[in-house]
Amino acid sequence: LALSLISQKEMPYFEIVRGELENEYGEDMFHLYRFKSEQVDGFRYRVLDALRAITRVSIREARLKEIKSEIFNSKKLKTYFNDNKKELQLLRHDSALHIVKVKEHLKHVPDYLIPNSLKKTSSTNSEQPISTNNKRKSDTINKNVKRMKHNNPLSNSLNAVTVLKKEIARKKT
């Protein structure tokens, strides 16, 4: 299931694609999905974040990466690179000019953004595996919470007794 939002300006292109797919598969592959715009308002900021990440430089870098993989996988060029190993090494060690940062928060859709009508059909974040990065963060948070509880004199009865004894000793002097 995929959702595509099409503007009026894009409708001629959509009709061409729809016709091609209908000719190839023998049925209409697109189904109209009616919804209220308020249901998807929560996605606005996520979409804007994703659009800001797509720049001319990031597109160029992605295309260069695709071309390099095509070069490395080309059967015709394998014989050339067997003769010219230095050029293959130069291509392999060529680094990206601009590193695109992947925004982790855009990978998963939180439950509060999913409309109630779609919650039945979509998978939630709780069903998705925890990434190692998030697991590491949660482990660190858990350690910090344990440390805070241990250092809190009111949560630990032994510490509470020690604190009371010290206060009594101070009052006597």
10 φ/ψ sector (left φ>0, alpha ψ -120 to 50, else beta): alpha
- Write down the pLDDT at residue 19: 92
pLDDT tens per residue across span 71-110: 888 888 888 888 888 888 887 777 666 666 777 777 788 8
4/32 Cα distance (integer angstroms):
10
Distances (CA, A) of 168 to 155, 159, 165, 172: 20, 14, 5, 6
Please check the confidence at residue 154 and state whether its pLDDT lies above 60.
no
- Write down the pLDDT at residue 150: 61
Does this model's pTM top 0.85? My answer is no
Please check the confidence at residue 167 and state whether its pLDDT lies above 80.
no
| Domain range annotation of the chain | 1-34, 37-122, 129-173
pLDDT tens per residue across span 119-147: 766 554 444 555 556 666 666 666 666 66
pLDDT tens per residue across span 26-50: 888 888 877 787 877 878 888 888 8
93 φ/ψ angles, rounded to the nearest 5 degrees: -95, 5
- Write down the pLDDT at residue 126: 47
User: Is-contact 128 108, C-beta < 8 A?
Assistant: yes
Q: If DSSP states are collapsed to H, E and C, what string results for 74-102?
A: CHHHHHHHHHCHHHHHHHHCCCCCCCCCC
Please check the confidence at residue 16 and state whether its pLDDT lies above 80.
yes
63 φ/ψ angles, rounded to the nearest 5 degrees: -65, -40
Band (9; pLDDT cuts 50, 70, 90): very high
65-71: list long-range contacts, CB under 8 Å, 24+ apart.
Answer: 65/96, 68/94
User: Is-contact 129 143, C-beta < 8 A?
Assistant: no
